[in-house]
Chains A and B, each alone.
Chain A
Amino acid sequence: MFAHIFRFELRYRFTQPSTYLYFGVFALAGFLSQTVEDFGFASAKVHVNSPDALAQLHFIASILGMFVTAAVMGTPVYRDDKDGMTGLVYTTSITKPAYLSGRFLGSLLAMWFIISGVSVGALLGMLMPWVDAEKLGPVMPLALLVPLVFGAWVNALFAGCIFFAAYLVFRSPLVVYLGGIVLFVLYQVSLTFSDKVSSDHLFAQLDPFGLSAKNIDTNYWTIAERNTRLLNFFGGELVQSRLMWTAIGLLILGVACAFFRLGQAKTKVKKASPEPAPVAVGAGGLRRSPQEFGRGLGHWQVWQLTKVQFLNVVKAWPFRVLALLGVVFVLFNAYYTYQDPRGIQMPVTYLILKMLNDNYTLFQLLIITIYAGELVWRERDTRLQLVFDALPFSTWVPFLSKLLALLAVQVVLTLVMDGVGLAIQLYRAPALVEPLHYLKDFALQVANLGVLCTLALTVQTVANNKYVGHAVMMVYYGVVFLLADALGLHHALLKFGAAVPYTYSDMNGYGHLVAPLLAINAYYLAGALVLVLLTGLLWVRGNDTGLRARGRQFGQRMQQAGLRPALAGALVLLFVAGAWVFYNANILNEYLTPKFLEARQANAERAYKRYEKLPQPKIVAISLNADLYPTASPRGFRMAGTYTLRNKESRAIDTLFINYDNSHSINNRLSLSRPATVLRDDPAAGVRIYRLAQPLAAGDSLDLRFDVAYWARGFTSRLKGTGVFDWANISPEDRLTANGTFLNDPGLHIGYQPGSELSEDDVRKRNGLKPKARALTLNDPRGRNQADFGPDGDYVRYEATVSTDPDQLAITPGYLQKEWLQNGRRYFRYRMDQPMMPMVSVLSARYQVHRESWQNPAGGPPVAIEIYHDPKHGYNVGRMAEALRKALPYYTAAFGPYQYRQIRVLEFPRYKGFAQSFPNTVPFSESAGFIDDLRDPTKPDLAFFITNHELAHQWWGHQLVGANVQGSSMLIESLAEYSAIMTAKHEFTPAKMQQFMRRELDNYLRGRRQERKKEQPLMLCESQPYIHYYKGGMVFYALQDYIGEDKLNGALRAFLAKNRYQTRPYPNSADLMTYLRQATPDSLQYALHDMFETITLYKNELKTASYTPRPDGKFDVNLTIKAEKLRADSLGNEKSIAMADYIDLGIFGPDKSAGEAWDVRGKPLFLKKIKLTKPETTLHFVVNEKPVKAGVDPYQKLIERYYIDNVKFVDEQKAGSKPVAAK
């Protein structure tokens, strides 16, 4: 019996074209992952067919393919119900187990076949001859098979159980889909949080599809491991995840099967009502009611239908469950957002709205997709369509009413969400509620939802098959929402229905993004209007759904009065709005694509690389007049002035190579103070080459005069990666804004700029360039004669006059000399009284200023501390000032005097999220500290830390500048990071400090995973942030722990004293190493080699820990320690090396505050560095108090991937049992 049903199911599945269609879709995804750039899960050094990328592919495919699983696994029993077969099938001698298992296993087998398409496609893809050999590793069959079986198949089994069970219990295909949404949400939740809470086991297990478990298991995998190591499905988080969720799936299936009865689907009402007794017919016979078909009937009918269908959706429990789920999801998210150990922010309105939109978009998309199908098919699903369709309403009535009903549902959901956001805000900080901002965001949401609802209904109508409609919408979301940029669809005109990206800033509001938001939304809405009209014409009415009949109806409906003008009007609107967007993005402004920018950079390199070694004069003085017009129409700026250039070479220079900003919206006028001819001017590359009439003699100077102007014209296309998201290519429109201008220098550079070349090898390759070294070698003579910041100049004189709106303050490095009003504008004159690095910033905004000062007790002038901030963002201003007040004495004592009489921190809008240190001036993003929520003192305090990191750059970066060679970013960034860590060490509680250092370690280890070329040892690092910030921070913090804080600071002080303002040659990291070596005792010299010159990791473990109470009230403690030292190469291939290393061993009392199991937060009963030489060592200690935890390197000062096994609870050894042999 079973075999019969099983075979029947298989035959059914394998004769359905949809089976092969689904297979083909999966195969295509697999194929594209191997053959199309940016489509798969590889990176520069990770092969497209590496086990890691293939595993990711299988996981993602099985998750996104869940809707296929729902369609295959949710429908076997539904088919019998739908076709009215149940009566026939269930009355045969079939048994329930045979029936269900046959149907289930048959479908499962089909599903497994379908999902194998991914592997087949990927295998085919990697065998294609055109796949770049460098992107390809060896073909490993197991790398396909293992994730297919344990990833994709297990997921299909689990999801299949759920879908099959959902149908058995509820007998409703809608519920099957809702079950899919629930699973998807679980996955999203766990993914969101396993990213936030890096090592949390809970979230790894919460994801039913195992992707979070996989991410945690492979969190710290190096490039080499990602390329070669098979995922271990029999260990770690993965094995638990796979077993647990398979078991849950089977359990749910089992319960559902037990619950299921072979019989008709139940209807809501338990039994048919008995026939009432006939009643005498009322006199008068049949009433013939007058019908009114006059004007307004259509509207009235739309209203009636909308109301009924809206209520029909929102009154049903599936919808309510879904809405509730969304609320729970958002609350859950909010809860964890405010628990994030890496810092939390004030619940300002835009962050709340962002959280809502980020987390709820998915729900809305799914609800739109599913309910569009339900609404379009509502009459047909209840078999009412023949009655309904013959009713006297115009054909646009049902469609329009369904659209309005769907939109109304979305509006209700959005309002509910806004309510949740409001509640969160009221709970955490009621003063921050901005009702108007909610309203504006609501309007944007509704516009977008209107477009999406229209599109979903159109797709359902045109496809005329609910499931095909769902699939088409999924493809649409994939293409437009997820992959648009990867597929080269950059232009807003092409991303119909996608949310228009924008950044809201408390300082600048919607600012200059209002115009594109309005225009692009108008274009999408006009498109939606066209769709509404066309879909009205294609609406299925009656039972004739053949193409021919629909075509004929289309023709007839086109004849309706008013239809053609309406369509023409909508098309005109679409065209006008589209043309307006195009005019702004492509004609008023230059339309840029990433590929175009790459090609332009590559062309510039090919044309001008030969000038790289051409001797050039250096900037020695900058005089700047900057006039800012932040609120004028058009907005803009004008920067005029001179660079004084001096020939510091030993011979005369006759050719001058000038770079200028090649943005089309910037007008550059350049001239020289000496006669010269323009040899070449290349506006595409932004290069001008002068031939001087008289060569510039050694030591002689000339002036480069500039007049650089920008006027905003309309709005630009904003590309991900080149618009607001990437400072380097950011268009000036985001830098000169109504409130919150942050400009750099006028964009002029002297000499060829290797820093502007394409840096990534794979990007270079596709643009026909050879790979390039990221940095010059440690002792490269040319590099040693240039500052790390660039070859333009050494220390320079700087003065500037800046003018702006009368209600704004304008700031640039230097000291304010004079401030005046003239012609309704406010002028500021600044001058720096000592040479500085040629790093110029010009800021202007309506600032409120917090001022205080610090007096060095050792004498000297007081240092003014000034925080320029938006009046709304006063929360942390005091804390930031306090940070400066506390760091100034520490840095002064530890490293040497502060060179300025003032330090200013200035807020700028969150179009970018960093802070950067200019001479006596620190621009600091709105989102990087000003809105951090520091009200809970146990939470991380990044405002304090980042402020001090930037202050430290006044020493490391402005007093001491490394050469333009490898390792210099260690001198600048690692030392700034270390300095800030030391101020934190003296400020934070040990628990908070441990939390903080964990962040450094975590960031370093995750960064290695993403390396795109090669990991360098710290002292040779090539501007790799994960090394120079996080490894640097770890290493210097450990070093001060090993050799002593004073000792290390003394070495740094001596190094700085020797090299302060040193140029030509600039110092390199080897110079610092000399000082470190001198300060380090012989016994620890090995550590310098490990930390700075190599990539060294530890693999320490506390294997056992036990204690026995002693009669004298003390405690015997026995610890077994495993220790291993590993040396890694640039891709993370590790080998074990001999060790004789001093490592902390500690025994602790009970934790005094909550933390992870592997944190120690108790009183140290014993803590000492012990020299470990063997892989396993057993040690015996006596402590005075009862021990609770013990650990090897318990504070995790050393770099180690598996730190969670370093600490253990100490077990009591029962008295009388055999004591462990003590050494």
Chain B
Amino acid sequence: MELRISNLSKTYSNGVRALRDVSLTIPNGMFGLLGPNGAGKSSLMRTIATLQEPDTGSITLGDINVLTEKDRVRRVLGYLPQEFGLYPSISAEVLLDYFAGLKGIRDAGERKLAVESLLQQTNLWAARKKAVGGYSGGMRQRFGIAVALLGSPQLIIVDEPTAGLDPTERNRFLDLLSEIGENVVVILSTHIVEDVTELCPNMAIIAGGEVVATGSPNDVIGEIRGKVYRTKTEKAALAQLKSEYEVISSKLVAGQPIVRVFSEQPINGQFQPAEATLEDVYFHRLARREKTGVNA
């Protein structure tokens, strides 16, 4: 199964251009979609999840035309939106059973097993009798994950799934994903670079509605490998540094800024070469984009 996105564009009625000519090919396995807030990740995912119409472009999943054969897509789809609510006064167990039914798990026994399994996997078993209205943010998020994983989805789209999860839960969830991710397409959007680094054999960086980089994390990092330098500096000197170098990021460590810069030419002095990370690529690309945006 392969998800192929070609020349997808979408402009909202308020004039926001959410997607500009996006083309991606997503094979089986985990696919990381990295991008800042408002980059168009959610728009892209909703479009793949049949919830939104693009203006132009096409999407196919295997032999399914996603844009016109929505019913076929939905049968193999597991989707977790970035934000959602739940009917407040129903217990998790009942609600999940309800969703299981709507997902086509018609056999009552099978449904029971599926619900039990997922509630355990998402660590909601102990709270299964409680009304979901009283769930904490993390619990609700896990419940959403359970809904997305119900049945045997072939295409799993999870939008910012780890937001709001504590580290234990985050790990548990990512393990779960990678377990199924071997045989199905999993699209994971996030703005946390680590999620992608750790899990995804393939990824794309998306910003301003455009794909700015795509490939395996290694490939993506390849383009800046050996061109990243780091230095410790003073807060007062930061502005000076930024005007002189192509600063990728600056981070406070123990109150002192650590600055990473990109340079085609080796630079010396206070700088030391640094191991390029996905994060560097990400920020580098964003910074580049911003600059061209300003220049344009």
Contact = CB atoms under 8 A, between A and B. Distances in A.
B256 interface: no
Given A286-B121, A543-B51, A304 B126 contact: no
Contacts of B110: 289-290
A390 B101 contact: no
B152 A290 contact: yes
Contact of B74 (A267, A275, A391): A391
B151 A304 contact: no
Interface string B150-184: 11100000000000000010001000100110000
B134 A276 contact: no
Interface in A893-950: none
A641 B71 CA distance: 76
Contact of B131 (A268, A281, A285): A268
A268 B134 contact: yes
Given A300-B106, A392-B75, A279 B51 contact: no
B98 A304 contact: yes
Interface of A: 267-273, 275-279, 281-282, 284-293, 297, 300-301, 304-305, 308, 312, 382-384, 386-387, 389-394, 541-544, 546, 548-549, 552-553, 556, 559
30 contacts: A267-B133, A268-B89, A269-B130, A269-B133, A272-B135, A272-B136, A273-B136, A276-B127, A287-B114, A290-B105, A291-B152, A292-B104, A293-B75, A304-B102, A305-B102, A308-B98, A382-B88, A384-B84, A387-B147, A390-B50, A390-B74, A391-B102, A392-B77, A393-B74, A393-B102, A394-B71, A541-B51, A542-B53, A553-B53, A559-B68
B144 A291 contact: no
Nearest to A270: B134
Interface residues of B, number: 65
A167 B110 CA distance: 44
B215 interface: no
Nearest to A282: B120
B138 interface: yes
Nearest to A305: B102
Interface in B43-102: 46, 49-53, 68, 70-71, 74-75, 77, 79-81, 83-89, 98-102
A1175 to B, nearest CB: 71
B104 A291 contact: yes
B117 interface: yes
A677 to B, nearest CB: 79
B123 interface: yes
B79 A386 contact: yes
B53 A552 contact: yes
B139 interface: yes
Contacts of B88: 267-268, 382
B99 A285 contact: no
A556 B88 CA distance: 34
B284 interface: no
A281 B175 CA distance: 12
B125 interface: yes
B136 A297 contact: no
Given A289-B100, A392-B74, A278 B168 contact: yes
B85 A383 contact: yes
Given A387-B81, A389-B51, A286 B149 contact: yes
A387 B79 contact: yes
Contacts of A269: 130-131, 133-134
A273 B46 contact: no
Given A304-B102, A384-B87, A271 B134 contact: yes
Interface of B: 12-13, 46, 49-53, 68, 70-71, 74-75, 77, 79-81, 83-89, 98-107, 110-111, 113-114, 117-118, 120-121, 123, 125-127, 130-131, 133-136, 138-139, 144, 147, 149-152, 168, 172, 176, 179-180
Contacts of A546: 12-13
A560 to B, nearest CB: 9
A544 B113 contact: no
Contacts of B89: 268
Task: Tell me if A's interface is mostly helix, strand, loop or mixed.
Answer: loop
Contacts of B87: 312, 382, 384
A544 B43 CA distance: 10
Q: Give the top 8 A-B pairs by smallest Cβ distance, nearest first.
A: A269-B134, A542-B51, A383-B85, A276-B126, A291-B104, A287-B117, A386-B81, A392-B74
A383 B83 contact: yes
A839 B5 CA distance: 89
A543 B52 contact: yes
A291 B52 CA distance: 25
Given A301-B101, A544-B53, A292 B106 contact: yes
A285 B135 CA distance: 24
Contact of B135 (A273, A289, A394, A552): A273
A275 B149 contact: no
A252 B58 CA distance: 58
B114 A542 contact: no
Nearest to A300: B106
A544 B123 CA distance: 34
A290 B103 CA distance: 10
A278 B123 contact: yes
Given A272-B136, A279-B125, A291-B103, A390 B79 contact: yes
B177 to A, nearest CB: 10
B126 A287 contact: no
A556 B71 CA distance: 11
Given A279-B126, A286-B176, A387-B147, A267 B75 contact: no
B120 A279 contact: yes
A465 to B, nearest CB: 15
A386 B135 contact: no
A384 B86 contact: yes
A386 to B, nearest CB: 4
Contacts of A270: 134
Contacts of A393: 74, 102
A842 to B, nearest CB: 66
A291 B104 CA distance: 5
Contact of B144 (A268, A277, A293, A387): A387
Nearest to B88: A268
Contact of A544 (B51, B131, B151): B51
A917 to B, nearest CB: 67
B105 A289 contact: yes
A390 B84 contact: no
A788 to B, nearest CB: 73
A422 B167 CA distance: 64
A1011 to B, nearest CB: 60
A542 B136 CA distance: 26
Nearest to A557: B70
Given A271-B134, A289-B113, A546-B12, 20 more contacts: A267-B88, A273-B127, A276-B123, A279-B120, A279-B125, A284-B117, A286-B121, A286-B180, A287-B114, A289-B105, A384-B85, A384-B86, A386-B81, A386-B84, A387-B79, A387-B84, A387-B99, A390-B79, A392-B103, A393-B74
A386 B51 contact: yes
A277 B144 CA distance: 19
Contact of B123 (A279, A287, A300, A552): A279
B98 A289 contact: no
A300 B98 CA distance: 12
B246 to A, nearest CB: 38
B135 A297 contact: no
Contacts of A282: 117, 120-121
Nearest to B157: A390
A553 B68 CA distance: 9
B136 A289 contact: no
Contacts of B134: 267-273
Nearest to A278: B123
A273 B125 CA distance: 13
A289 B86 contact: no
Contacts of B136: 272-273, 275
Nearest to A316: B89
Contact of A392 (B52, B104, B131, B135): B104
A277 B125 CA distance: 10
A559 B13 CA distance: 26
